[in-house]
Amino acid sequence: MKLFYYTKATLKGMVSNVAITVVYFILFPVLLAGLMGFFQNSLHENPLKLNTLKLSIIDNDRSNMSETLISFLKSEDMKELIDINEEEKQIEIVIPKGYEESIISLKRDEIKINTLKEGLINSTNTLKIILDKYHQGLYLSMSGNSSEELANITGKNIIENININAKKTSSSYEVLSSSMIAFVISMLIFSLIQGNYAEISVNLDKRISSTPISKCKYFYYDSFALLIYSIIILLGYVLFFRILGISFTGRLLPLITLILISAILIVSISKFVYELFGPLYGKVIGALVFSLPIIGMEAFTGEGNALKILAPTHYITKLFNVYNLNGNFNSNIKDLVFVVILSAVLFSIANIKVILSKGGRRCV
C-alpha cells in the first residue's frame, strides 16, 4: 500500500508539470527525429535526379539479338543511367534462353530485372521504360509496320515485373526515430540524476532516516516510481510514431519489452550514480551520460562514430533498429542480454550500497 501511495505522489508531481514534461521529453525529440529523417530522406534520392545503376547482364540466350541488346545497354547514350559493374552490381538484367526466337516470332519472352539494393526506384523504372520502348521498336521493325501487328504490339511490355531481391532496410524516419530514443533515455537519466541532488531530495532523504520506513524500502519505492515515470515517457514517444504509422509498427509485445528494459536501464544508471557518487562527481557523470550519444553522433544521424559504443544507450538503439527492421529483436538477443545484465549489476551495486550505508536498515 505504501508503494502505491508513494508512486501515486511521484506521478502527481509529473502531472503537475505535464506541459514541460511532454515538450521536453516527447515533442522535442519527436520534432528532431522528424526533421532529421526528412533531411536524410531528401538526400538519399532526389526524385528529379536519376541515380546511375551499377548492373550486371546475364545472357542465357547468347544470340545475335541478345548481343545487340547488350551493345545497346553499353552504348554512350546509356552511360548516364547505366554502369556495367559486376563487382558492385545493384541490379541484374537476365536475358532468357529463346530470347531471339521470341523476338522473331513476335512473342514476348520476359526479360527480368532483379534489384539487389533499395533506394533506386526512379532509375530502375526508367530503365524498364527504355527497355520496353527498345523492344517495341524491334517488334515494329520485325512486323513490317503492319496495322494488325501494330495493334497487337501496342501496350506490350517486355518487362512485366521488377523482381526486388534486396534485403529490407529501414526508412530514414525509422532509423532516426529509433536513434533519437537514445537522446530521450539520456535526457531522462540526466534529469533523474540532477533531481536526486536537488535540495528537496537531499532533505527528504535525511527525513526518511528518522522515520519508521527504512532507507532500503525508500530506495525500492523510489526506484519503482521512477520506473513507471520512465515507461510513461518512453511509451508516449514511441506511440506517437506508431499511431502515425511512421515507425515502431511491428509486434506490440517485443516493443513493450524494449520499453520496459529501457526504463529499467534508466533507473539503474540514475540510482547507481546517485548512491555511489557525491553531487559534484554525480552531476559530471550525469552530464557525460547525456553527452555521449551526442558526441558519438548516433542520436542524430543513426550511424555515428567510434565513440558511440561508449554510450550505454548505444545497445538500446541497436535493439530498436532491429525491431523496426524485423518487427522483433530475435536477431539481436546478445545486446538485449547485455542491457539486462548491465542494469541488474548497476542496480544491485546501488542496492548493496544502500543496505551497507549508515541509514540503511534491513528491508522486511
Domain end residue (candidates: 133, 164, 195): 164
Domain match, 198 and 140 both: no
Question: Does the residue 46 lie in any domain?
Answer: no
Domain boundary among the residues 119, 139, 164 is at: 164
Roughly how many angstroms between the first and final C-alpha of the chain, as a whole number?
Answer: 14
220 lies in the same domain as 252:
yes
Give the pLDDT means over successive 10-residue stretches in the chain (364 positions). Answer: 60 56 53 51 47 82 87 81 79 85 73 74 77 76 58 49 47 73 85 72 53 74 88 87 84 93 94 88 84 72 69 86 83 90 94 77 52
The verdict on 188 and 326 lying in the same domain is yes
What CA–CA distance (Å, rounded) separates 151 from 331? 53
Q: Write out the three cell numbers for 245.
A: 504509422
Q: Which residue range is the domain that position 314 belongs to?
A: 2-41+170-356
Q: Which is nearest to 107 in space by CA: 59, 149, 161, 60?
A: 149
pTM above 0.85, yes or no: no
Same domain, 188 and 239: yes
What is the reported pLDDT for 155? 47
The distance between the two most distant Cα atoms of the chain, rounded to a whole number of Å, is 104
Distances (CA, A) of 141 to 39, 104, 134, 145: 47, 10, 11, 6
What pLDDT shows up at residue 115? 77
If asked whether residues 269 and 306 sit together in one domain, one would say yes
- Asked whether residue 102 falls in the same domain as residue 249, the answer is no
pLDDT at 247 (0 to 100) = 83
Same domain, 318 and 175: yes
Report the Cα 227 to chain-centroid distance in Å. Answer: 24
In terms of Cβ atoms closer than 10 Å to its own Cβ (0-12, 13-18, 19+), residue 88 is exposed
